[in-house]
Structure 1
Amino acid sequence: MGLRELRLKRGMTQQQLAEKLGVTQQHVAAYENGVNSISNMTLAKALRMCDALHVANPRKLLDDDDK
């Protein structure tokens, strides 16, 4: 399940996730569209994303990160 699917499953908008991560909505869109690679984000940001999306294993964020 990719980032977009995880976000939508939690009923969150890109803007809501961006606010939890401390980034812009455009930054979240870039992660979802593969412009920015999730595997290159900082550990702190990855952990905040896991917390926001209720994902226990950060590797789940990478499931769809092969674009």
Structure 2
Amino acid sequence: TEVDKTTKKTTAKPAAKTAAKTTAVKADGKKDHRRKKLRSRRLPLAANARPKRQRKHSTMLSRP
């Protein structure tokens, strides 16, 4: 907050601007992180790995 010299009242505009900037930067960082996570998660779900997982699951279900 900054004190306006003419009215001697605090204005919250600059603080809000900085807060918006920080949140935008944070969101941008999170976006980047999420993208990396998605890529790493997509790798084990490759076509050759997918049937293996299904087979494992089916054997677990068929157990007496």
TM-score of the two chains, using structure 2 as the length reference:
0.23
Which structure is richer in relative contact order (CA contacts within 8 A, separation 6 or more)? 1
Give the strand-richer structure, 1 or 2.
Answer: 2
Q: Larger Rg: 1 or 2?
A: 2
TM-score of the two chains, using structure 1 as the length reference:
0.22
